[in-house]
Amino acid sequence: MLCIFDGVINNPKVTNKIIPNIEHGILPKVKALVLHRTSAGTAESTLNAWQSKKSGAHFLIDKTGKIYQTASLKKQCWHVGLLQSRCRLEGSCSTEDAKFIKKTLHGSGSWGSKFKKVYLNEKKKDYPDRYPLNSDSLGIELVGAYLGGSGDKGPFEKLKEPQGKSFLWLVTELLSQYDLSFKEDVYAHGSIARKKVKEGVDAFEWLKDNYQ
């Protein structure tokens, strides 16, 4: 088990780089892990950006394999964004939910306003009937540039070998710490929220191939 003091991991593999302005409110219980890619090509650029932003994640893993803890495990980070409807993507909606989503997405207004209405409806549900929120998940960012140009469906840089080793170690330790399931409680950001479609997907697939 990890040695954690007041939300901060005490382990030589993890560098304490807490950035207070990306911490928002109490994280009452960790129910899931959400995997992200930085889009930027270096850890330094991401750490510098987070110093002046409100959004960020609990961990950042550099290409060198260095793990930075950037937020307390007791605090929420704004890393998820607008959730998609889980039941819609998985084909398991109740009649009431299906009607609401259809009416919302085919109704008037901008796409942004429609997506927000669906998201607010998802927030009313308990996990795992919905995808994880900021209020019940940890975010893990892996340094990797976006290679898709101006589109939102392009690929990210592949994980570097030392980065993958650190990633595997961290996820394994966190799953054990919080009694979570790799199969049920780990998500790629692009698969659950309205972000770049492949964000975190390659990392998730790599993890699936290497997790024991």
CATH class, 4-81+131-210 region: alpha beta
Against a cut of 0.85, is the pTM above it? yes
**3-class secondary structure for the chain?**
CCCEECCEECCCCEEECCCHHHCCCECCCCCEEEEEEEECCCHHHHHHHHCCCCECCCEEECCCCCEEECCCCCECCECCCCECCHHHHHCCCCHHHHHHHHHHHCCCCCHHHHHHHHHHHHHCCCCCCCCCCHHHEEEEEEEEEECCCCCCCCCECCCCHHHHHHHHHHHHHHHHHCCCCHHHHEEEHHHHECCCCCCCHHHHHHHHHHCC
> How much is the pLDDT for 113?
96
Mean pLDDT over 181-200 rounds to: 96
> How much is the pLDDT for 42?
95
Q: Are 170 and 91 in contact, with CB atoms under 8 Å apart?
A: no
- The single-letter code of the amino acid at 184 is E
Chain region(s) in the chain for CATH 3.40.80.10: 4-81+131-210
> How much is the pLDDT for 1?
83
Check whether 30 has a pLDDT greater than 90: yes
Check whether 212 has a pLDDT greater than 80: no
The pLDDT tens digits for 31-57 are 999 999 999 999 999 999 999 999 999
The pLDDT tens digits for 153-184 are 999 999 999 999 999 999 999 999 999 999 99
